[in-house]
Structure 1
Amino acid sequence: MVNDRIRFDEPRSGVQRLAARFGGHAYDTHRHETYGVGLTLWGAQSFHYRGALRTSRGGQVMVLHPDEAHDGHATVDAGFAYRMLYVDPATVSAAIGGNPPFVPEVVADDPVLADLLREAFADFPRSLEPLAVDAVVERLAGRLAARSDDQPRPRSAAVAHRAVACARDFLAAEAHRTVASEELEKVTGLDRFALSRHFRAATGTSPHRYQVGRRLAQAQKMIAEGVPLSDAAAATGFADQSHLTRHFSARFGLTPGRWATLARQS
């Protein structure tokens, strides 16, 4: 029987690595504000995504897009193991000099992407050096662009990348509290609706979901370090433990309690 396990490293320059294995149910329905690009090592895992049930078997790769709901469970008795890169879409956008690419084929046999993922995890969980992160992002962005759909997507105007960067920096710095729309308007020089359009074009998600994601990432780290759930909730701007649990489950597909158990087994 497979012992469920999760290991992850610190986010670095818009990239975080996660390695996990599960023997049955893995994740409830959730979504990320990042790309999720993964390699199934062995076994088979299935997940509901964009209206269909997808299955990734050993050696296959997955490309999940920002803000797309999905779950996860083992498809075979042996369970499954996989590695996943969570990559900031704005980082991908910067690497290719355009909007984040959309890859229509969710699960594929892609030896190029599989080799890239193996290389990115060669020294895991030892931290990637800064130049190694840059190389991973550049190659990953290029591969996603190469596999993206060929249909041009309408663009009403160029993306205000500088304003989006200012908004992201401000939201990250103020992740412990609720930020008012007027504050972002002052920081970026854009009205709230224009900012929302530009922010989603550059990152694939909304300013609010992005900020909640920063708070949850900090809570995730604290819980893995053994901080009590109520303390982690208070330190990361959630009203109480139940408030944290609701958002945590929606973001990671695991309750904070299960995350704490899996993290201690790493």
Structure 2
Amino acid sequence: MLQKAAPARPDWVMRAQPIEGIERIEAWFQGKAYAMHRHDTYAIGRTLAGVQSFNYRRSRRDSLPGNTIVLHPDEAHDGQAGTGEGFRYRMIYVEPALFQDVLGGRTLPFLEGGVTTNPRIAAATETLLQRVGHTLEPLEQNDALAELAHALAAAAGMPRARGKGDYLAARRARDYLHANFTRVVTLEEVEIATGRDRWSLSHDFRTFYGTSPYRYFTMRRLDAVRRMLLSGISLASAAADAGFADQSHMTRHFLKTFGLTPGRWLQIVGNVPRD
């Protein structure tokens, strides 16, 4: 007796609310996904499962799980599953003007292949290619955009522009972030507090403090979490009081920074022998 074939999974697309010139989606398709089309934005994505195939610049490209897709603005492409299993991916669409603000008038970076395994580009897209349900803080998105623009420029062989920077603006930014880390800080606030535009300020901060504004901001939150945990405050309360969206948000940053979960860190600290 012949068995009936399993019904195909329905195609779906989830979208995040567009913010500051960036659209974020996650999607699943089985078979044909898109006919030939083009965007006036960069399309940068990550294949999560299956084989993501598309025609781009006169040849077929196949992206495997973990690969990063980088499609230049106004380049025609389509999309389909490379196997019968279908494919899942996340994608961001970035207005070229945002990258141009970072690069300061240099040529927009172009990667010929459309698919890359470049580790710096992969790392630079991690923040922006989180699940669409995750809300990015303004400073977080700004830092990620700046790093992605520089990663694309480096992969395209473009020399990085150097500037002296504005130390006083960087110090004002540091002081402002330090005083306000327990809440969401907007980019406009920091620009007003420092008298410097967001992209120049990002460069200044890295030049004089060796890290990005959002990374500094997050570290101050984590410092507060550790102090609160040692005083007996619960994980959930510490996360909220330090300005994190929730406990899992705090735990992800804690693990990424210290290599331990907050609970494991607290357990170890509590095991220090007494004289």
Where do 5+ consecutive residues of structure 2 fail to align? 1-7, 160-275
Aligned to 2:43: 36
- 2:145 paired with 1:142: no
- 2:21 paired with 1:14: yes
Q: Deviations over 1:88-144 (max 9, x none)?
A: 111101112123111223112123323333322435323322111101210110111
Where do 5+ consecutive residues of structure 1 fail to align? 152-266
- 2:93 paired with 1:75: no
* Contact 1:38–1:82 (CA under 8 A) maintained in structure 2: yes
Q: 1:4 to 1:104 in 2, by over 3 A?
A: same
Partner amino acid, structure 2, of 1:44: V
Cα deviation for residue 149 of structure 1 reads 4.7
Cα deviation for residue 17 of structure 1 reads 0.9
Aligned to 1:113: 121
User: In structure 2, what is the Cα distance between the partners aligned to 1:114 and 1:99?
Assistant: 21
Find the residue that maps to 1:124 and give its secondary structure.
coil
* Contact 1:13–1:133 (CA under 8 A) maintained in structure 2: no
User: In structure 1, what is the Cα distance between the partners aligned to 2:88 and 2:124?
Assistant: 17
Cα deviation for residue 47 of structure 1 reads 0.8
User: In structure 1, what is the Cα distance between the partners aligned to 2:64 and 2:156?
Assistant: 22
Cα deviation for residue 73 of structure 1 reads 0.3
- 2:138 paired with 1:130: yes
Aligned to 2:243: none
Cα deviation for residue 3 of structure 1 reads 2.7
Q: Deviations over 1:143-190 (max 9, x none)?
A: 110111569xxxxxxxxxxxxxxxxxxxxxxxxxxxxxxxxxxxxxxx
Larger radius of gyration: 2
Q: Deviations over 1:54-110 (max 9, x none)?
A: 111111111101011110000111111111111111110111212311122311212
Bigger RCO (CA 8 Å, 6+ sep): 1
User: In structure 2, what is the Cα distance between the partners aligned to 1:20 and 1:69?
Assistant: 20
The structure 2 residue matched to 1:85, chosen from 92, 98, 101, is 92
User: In structure 2, what is the Cα distance between the partners aligned to 1:91 and 1:119?
Assistant: 16
TM-score, scaled to structure 2: 0.52
Partner amino acid, structure 1, of 2:88: A
Q: Superposed, which structure 2 residues align to 1:176-255 within 5 Å?
A: none
Find the residue that maps to 1:76 and give its secondary structure.
coil
- 2:67 paired with 1:66: no
User: In structure 2, what is the Cα distance between the partners aligned to 1:149 and 1:50?
Assistant: 20
Q: Deviations over 1:16-50 (max 9, x none)?
A: 11111111110011110100011101110111111
Aligned to 1:220: none
Aligned length: 151
Aligned to 1:96: 103
Identity of aligned residues (%): 40
